[in-house]
Amino acid sequence: MLEKGLQPSKFPAIADAEESFIDYYYDEPGSLPGTLDLDPDAPPPDIVLIDYNQETATRVKLPSPEACFPYLDTESVSWVDILGLGNQETWQQLGKIFDLHPLVMEGVVNVPQRPKVEDYEDQLLIITWMVMINEGSEGFYKEQVSFILGKNYLLTVQEEPEYDCFQPVRDRIRNNKGIIRKHGADYLAYTLLDAIINGFFPVLEAYGEQVDELENEVVANPTTQTLEKIYKIRRELLALRRAIWPQRDAINSLLRDGSDLISPEVRIYLRDCYDHTVQVMDIVETYRELATGLMDVYLSSVSNKMNEIMKLLTVISSIFIPLTFIAGVYGMNFNAEKSPWNMPELNWYWGYPACWALMIATASSLIFFFWRRGWFENSSIVKDDK
């Protein structure tokens, strides 16, 4: 399933707040095993074949699945890359050519499936999830990639023809770099699987930068938008965790159970691939803990900001309370002629300036008192006002 940030798509968005976390494919109750859930009007997939050995390498786009036959009978390694799920007729042809078990085709076509490894004696099914950073928007692309490993061939099935991380592998085959053309299809499967796992690191690096920016924002100026960003990045990191966790188990099963289709030498390389999955898991868990901690920091920052506001309001209220008292007393307007106790200050020549002087002196005394007590120190509210 290719998930495209917040852009409109027929696939759910990985960064969408409405995303469901129970997004694995499930069969309708009572359906037959091996049922393919495909759009009959969907266009056929692009089939690209790379056939290579130590001396030569050939890349050709096949017009139909039957065009694979001349390459499968040779001693070279045939990599059949199927780009797009296509229609049901195409998959029926592929199933006959490669003698695919109905459950294999069901797992490959009915996406998304949980990453797993299944051994079918002469074939090995490996289902993984590939992620790639979305350069043009937020979030990341997520897509199921399936491997069907045979004796001298490898089928890879991608949901979308536009995005993958296999180009470096194609270049190594074309330019005969490294040892990939000296090994069989099992080493090719390892190389592609390792490319998928390594594709998680650029995505995690981008999220690491987002976490750093959120830390600064939470401490400096937390807002409701900051809270939304925290929730969003936590959900996206959870989606990454759900993508890499079962892949670690799948690679571990390859190492633990083994297969006749994977040589002991390639199993050694798979250990390195397993180590990379563990590293990805550690980074994802670290970022998730940091994102969870950001929520506590956000609440603390908001609480501190609220305390600063209440502190400032308390100071202002404390200053104006005696001023309000003075203004209230001299606003009663008693008649001083009836009694000497009825505010003789109302008839003073300097009564009004004297009242102002009293209020200014009272306010100044309170401000000086609060300043000596240190109430204005380390006040972000006062600093911002200045």
247 φψ region: left (φ > 0), alpha (ψ -120 to 50), beta (else):
alpha
CA distance 155 to 293: 43
pLDDT of 118-175, one tens digit each?
999 889 999 999 998 877 667 788 889 999 999 899 999 998 877 788 999 999 999 9
Q: pLDDT tens, 249-291?
A: 999 998 888 788 999 999 999 999 999 999 999 999 999 999 9
CA–CA distance, 189 with 267 (Å, rounded to integer): 11
376 pLDDT band, cuts 50/70/90, is: low
What per-residue confidence (pLDDT) applies to 44? Answer: 80
Residue 6 near residue 16 (C-beta atoms within 8 A): yes
Distance between CA atoms of residues 174 and 169, nearest Å = 9
Helical (H) or strand (E) element with 144: strand 140-149
Strands 124-133, 153-158: pairing kind: unpaired
Superfamily of domain 46-300: CorA soluble domain-like (3.30.460.20)
Band (pLDDT 50/70/90 cuts) for residue 373 is confident
CA dist., res. 64 & res. 46, Å (int): 9
- Average of per-residue pLDDT values in the chain: 82
Question: From residue 369, how far is each of 63, 96, 311, 322 by CA, in Å?
Answer: 88, 91, 15, 14
Lowest-confidence range among 23-32, 67-76, 237-246? 23-32
Here the tokens at position 163 are: 């995005």
329 CB contacts (<8 Å, ≥6 apart)?
Answer: none
User: What own/partner pairs with CB < 8 Å and gap ≥ 24 does 349-356 have?
Assistant: 355/326, 355/327, 355/330
158 strand-pairing partners? 83, 145
Residue pLDDT, tens place only, 64-105? 888 888 888 778 999 999 998 877 888 888 999 999 998 998
H-type alpha helices, 100-199: 102-109, 167-175, 185-198
Angle between helices 185-198 and 167-175 (to 10 degrees): 140
Q: What's the residue count for the chain?
A: 386
Distance in angstroms (rounded) separating the CA atoms of residues 378 and 380:
6
**Which DSSP category does 8 fall into?**
-
The domain segmentation of the chain, as residue ranges, is 46-300, 330-385
